[in-house]
Structure 1
Amino acid sequence: MQPISIPKHWNYPGYIFGQRTEQGEIIGLKYYAPDTYLGKQYGEGWRYVMLPDKNQEDEEHQLEDKVKLLTPEQLKTQLHAEIDYYSRQLEHMKSLLRAIPVTATVATDEPGEQQETPTQAQKKSWESPPTLQSFIDAAQVILKQISQHPDYLALDYQPDLTVGDAQTALSYLKDELETNQQSAAIAKVFD
């Protein structure tokens, strides 16, 4: 893959892909050159495409001078919260692996033939139950799939509460959970 090259007569962007800001992660860049309609109409310069929430499809566009980087403390807190989240996910997956029965290969009387026999009964492992975060993530995926399913789209269904309302409720719940986790992480740092 070739690196991205920027024409010499363009200004270089002040921020890069993947950089975390107060408005979200930078996932795209657009440049309005001075000799174009957009550059003349809206001003020359870089526009950044931000993803405020990686679990949503909504993106925001920001002018370069409106982008605000996270402070080192905010970035550390955010990264620690993500590390905690992925550590919990990893532990959950390990518990799922432990729940898979172990099998041994036993030779039979027939030459070249082998048979697998279980050496441990399969059991549910609740030593490390799924986290609330993993349930929220799963529910968001399911709700998105429901909202895009052809059978759902074909319905003339207009309830008082919609799938979108449920998605919003889950987003609020997730924000509250992340706020509590960040507060706990900060309190842990100061202990």
Structure 2
Amino acid sequence: MEPTVSIPQGWQYPRFGFGQRTERGQIIGLKYYEEDTYLANEYGVGWRYILLPDKHTEDEEHRTEDEIKLLSPQELKTTLEAEIQNHQRQIQSLKHQLDAIPAIVLAANSTDEEPTQQPQEPRYPSLHDLVNGAKFLIQEIAKHPDYLTLGYQPDLTIGDADTALSYLEVELEPPENSR
């Protein structure tokens, strides 16, 4: 069932609706200042729109209908395409994270086994698998376009982290005389 909003008799209908994108942000709320009320006497009769200029903040703006201008079709298309690109980057990042999970971690968390009465020691993935997963993630960070455009120059670099993991890998190898 589609939700409906009832406008009381005597109120004018709003020109804009929830979710529409304006030059000042997205409409996230509406309120009406009815005639012969304090707010209407103070600010004028009519609809006030609550806009969220940036979805990453809680700051909102309150505007009258006269202060609102919807995005042009081209501006709306550009905005939506940018959001789609952002979501696709997030999906790719999540896929890379998923690929980086060593198979043994999935097996360790598997619930296919019959439950036992005795408490079991937690099973950890091998350190080799964790090191390989960490190296994969570091390499993905190093070539990510957002990272490349940062101009980030810390004292310890991505390369230093990769080298440290390589040294750890060498330490994990058994000594040659024990082979």
Percent sequence identity is: 48
User: How far apart, CA to CA, are the structure 2 residues paired with 1:15 and 1:55?
Assistant: 23
Gaps of 5+ in 1: 106-111, 137-191
- Asked if residue 69 in structure 1 is aligned to residue 62 in structure 2, the reply is no
Structure 2 residue identity aligned to 1:93: L
- Aligned partner of 2:35 in structure 1 is 34
- Aligned partner of 2:97 in structure 1 is 96
Q: How many residues align?
A: 129
User: How far apart, CA to CA, are the structure 2 residues paired with 1:31 and 1:23?
Assistant: 20
- Aligned partner of 2:83 in structure 1 is 82
**What is the deviation of 1:102?**
1.3
User: How far apart, CA to CA, are the structure 1 residues paired with 2:145 and 2:56?
Assistant: 17
Structure 2 residue identity aligned to 1:88: R
TM-score normalised by structure 2 residue count = 0.61
- Asked if residue 121 in structure 1 is aligned to residue 135 in structure 2, the reply is no
TM-score normalised by structure 1 residue count = 0.58
Which entry has the higher C-alpha Rg, 1 or 2? 2
More strand by percentage: 1
User: How far apart, CA to CA, are the structure 1 residues paired with 2:10 and 2:145?
Assistant: 51
**What is the deviation of 1:118?**
6.5
Structure 1 residue identity aligned to 2:29: G
**What is the deviation of 1:4?**
2.4
**What is the deviation of 1:132?**
3.3
User: How far apart, CA to CA, are the structure 2 residues paired with 1:113 and 1:37?
Assistant: 66
* DSSP-derived class of the 1:70 partner: coil
**How has the CA–CA distance of structure 1 residues 18 and 113 changed in structure 2, closer, same or farther, with 3 Å as cutoff?**
closer
C-alpha distance after superposition, 1:45-96 (max 9, x if no partner) = 0000111111112111110111000000000000111111110011001100
**How has the CA–CA distance of structure 1 residues 131 and 32 changed in structure 2, closer, same or farther, with 3 Å as cutoff?**
farther
Gaps of 5+ in 2: 108-113, 117-122, 151-179
Query: Which segment drifts farther, 35-44 or 62-71?
Result: 35-44
User: How far apart, CA to CA, are the structure 2 residues paired with 1:117 and 1:67?
Assistant: 57
**What is the deviation of 1:37?**
1.6
Counterparts of 1:1-191 in structure 2 under 5 Å? Answer: 3-103=4-104, 121-122=129-130, 123-124=133-134, 125-126=136-137, 128-129=140-141, 132=146
